[in-house]
Amino acid sequence: MYLSITGLKPKGIWGFIRFWTLAIPSFSEAKSAKGNLYCAVKKINGYNCTLSAWENRESMLSFMRNGFHLKAMKAFHSIAIGRTYGYESDTIPSWEEAYKLLESKGKNY
Per-residue pLDDT of the chain (109 residues; tens, 9 = 90+): 999 999 999 999 999 999 999 999 999 999 999 999 999 999 999 999 999 999 999 999 999 999 999 999 999 999 999 999 999 999 999 999 999 999 999 999 8
What's the CATH code, domain 2-108? Answer: 3.30.70.100
∠ CA 31-36-39, nearest 5°, is 50
pTM: 0.92
Closest residue by Cα to residue 19 from 30, 33, 7 = 7
Q: Where are the beta strands (DSSP E) in 30-79?
A: 36-44, 47-54
